[in-house]
Chain A
Amino acid sequence: MSLSINHPAAPFVGAIEKSPKISLIGTLAMLIEAPGDFDLVQQGRVWALADVLSSWPNVEEAVIGVTNVMLVFEQPPDDIGVVSASIVELWHRLPSRKADGKMIEIPVVYGGEHGFDLPAVATRVGLSERDVIRIHSDGEYTVCAVASSPGFGYLHGLDPRIYMPRKSVPSLNMIAGSVTIGGMQTGVAVLTSPNGWNAIGWASVTSFDPQRAQPSLMLPGDRVRFRIDRIEL
């Protein structure tokens, strides 16, 4: 018996695009994955969907991922088919939400003691360390999702010239505030812990404070700019 509840192409007039893939994770969680490639339009539709779904009855929360959203239910829904059909319908008529959140500026000490992977990044991408810093600090990034550790924002918008694969062996104790590159993403480490991303600098920023009214500095749809505070080469 298959429990797959993926929907065939949506039965809406004029709708030729594919519907999201919907699957259950046990009786209390449902994953909704947007079709197609990862881009900010599709991510914006996920944000819009999550905004609406989080206010539905019996939904404890809507957890945004990269072009997907997971619903956590308070109780197992009576009729999964009805819930998923309503979500598919909503997906096709909701406009995408723009990255219309606040702008966050983060001053960074590039290189130095905490940016210990900067030389390796520069070597790998064939640029000088200063060029890597310039490209990273020129960019404007979008917070796609907050996950992995409290307040950690997955930032989209890294310049492909400074993509750097994650390490196969993580750095054992990367300090909180480390500004990192992992593949095609960048971010600011929230906790001091093992970390497989590449540290290129450090920022004095409180990404998460459970006592704040809004504990997470970054929220999906916010934008981030890194400013050069100091360069230590």
Chain B
Amino acid sequence: MIEILTSHAFNTVQDHGRRGARHLGVSMSGAMDPVALEAGNALLANDRDAAGIEIQTFPFRLRFLSDTAFALTGADHESTLAGSSVRPWWCTRAKAGDILAIETPRRGARVYATFGGGIDVPRVLGSRSTHLRAGFGGFDGRTLQAGDVVPIGSTQGKSDGRFDFGVAPPDVAIAGAASAEDRVLRIRVMRAGEYDLFSEAMQTTFWSTTWKISARSDRGGYRLTGGNLTLDAPVEMRSHGVVAGVVQVPPAGEPIIQMSDANTAGGYPKMAAVIEADLWRLGQAPPGSFIAFSEVSYQAAVAAMAPVNDYLAKLRATADLYRAL
């Protein structure tokens, strides 16, 4: 068990999302940076779909009520356990009574706290993710608050394993993943259904603009500013299914990228879709930061997932090996 001591808005329990319920109008939810969550689980030998806490407002403090292994992944940040510094992308063991304090990230938007055995809340429609709008899943269907006592799954059998080791984060470990000195995050997209309805000039604007992620962005979607994409003749789309990563263009012309809490249906023209291999990077882009789009083919988009999957597989294998030493 852990007790939440300090939590501001929008910190929630998330796993890999609620799959297969879109046809009931239930959005997927799930971690905005699924790679970080899965890496945290791999460090702790958890199942890949174990739930953790997605922290996106800081500082966040909790108290361990029992001896518990934990890991912090995602955004680059500083944290302390019982007053001593804890490194990100590292797994550590806490003693009952220890206080973990997580500070505002230096880079990135979301920190994932994972625990040996995972956050043990009931699955609702197959997932432990919080569906905030509908108020189910996660911890009582809501954001975490001071005073909440959150159950952790049992970790028996793993308690004698070794802890205190870490890994390189994916933006360091995956070659070509980071645009290091560049302050603009380059996001790869594929064209989507209505791309050809936009004039050449508008298409050029889409590719050449450095888009700013507006302050009116959240887990539901990122609103982009910096350019206007308009259609020569407005189109009325019939309501249809959408997924995270889709770049929609409302009549006002400023694109919206749907994210983890995206509605299951939409009706705006679709310019493009962020490829799966870059969606987690976008999930770490805070409001106020800048992105630019580049185009990839279907084949290139599929191939781009290989380094991500390899990174996670290698991380899990290495962690298992190290733990057994």
Contact = CB atoms under 8 A, between A and B. Distances in A.
Contact of B240 (A61, A66, A193): A66
A76 B273 contact: no
B296 to A, nearest CB: 10
Q: Which has the most chain A C-beta neighbours within 10 Å: B24, B192, B239, B264?
A: B24
Interface in B23-56: 23-26
A163 interface: no
A41 to B, nearest CB: 15
Interface stretch (B157-165, B225-233, B282-290, B297-305): B297-305
A45 B131 CA distance: 32
Given A68-B238, A147-B265, A26 B274 contact: yes
Given A25-B243, A26-B243, A148-B264, A61 B23 contact: yes
B223 interface: no
Q: Which has the most chain A C-beta neighbours within 10 Å: B23, B243, B264?
A: B23
Size bracket, chain A contacts: 35 or more
B82 to A, nearest CB: 39
Interface in B247-300: 263-265, 270, 273-276, 295, 297-298
A28 B301 CA distance: 10
A60 B243 CA distance: 13
A216 B240 contact: no
Contacts of B137: 210
B192 A149 contact: no
A49 interface: no
B191 to A, nearest CB: 5
Nearest to A220: B23
A110 interface: no
A66 B25 contact: no
A49 B14 CA distance: 33
A150 B134 contact: yes
B195 to A, nearest CB: 8
Contact of B297 (A3, A4, A33, A76): A3
B136 A210 contact: yes
Interface string A11-39: 00000000001011111110101000010
B14 to A, nearest CB: 17
A31 B240 contact: yes
A149 B134 contact: yes
Contact of A146 (B25, B192, B301): B25
Interface string A127-141: 000000000000000
B192 to A, nearest CB: 5
Given A63-B22, A150-B134, A216-B25, A25 B263 contact: no
B190 interface: yes
A103 interface: no
A28 B276 contact: yes
B97 interface: no
A68 B302 CA distance: 25
Interface of B: 19-26, 124-125, 131, 133-134, 136-137, 190-193, 195-196, 238-243, 245-246, 263-265, 270, 273-276, 295, 297-298, 301-302, 305
9 contacts: A26-B245, A27-B301, A28-B276, A63-B22, A70-B243, A145-B239, A148-B264, A208-B25, A211-B124
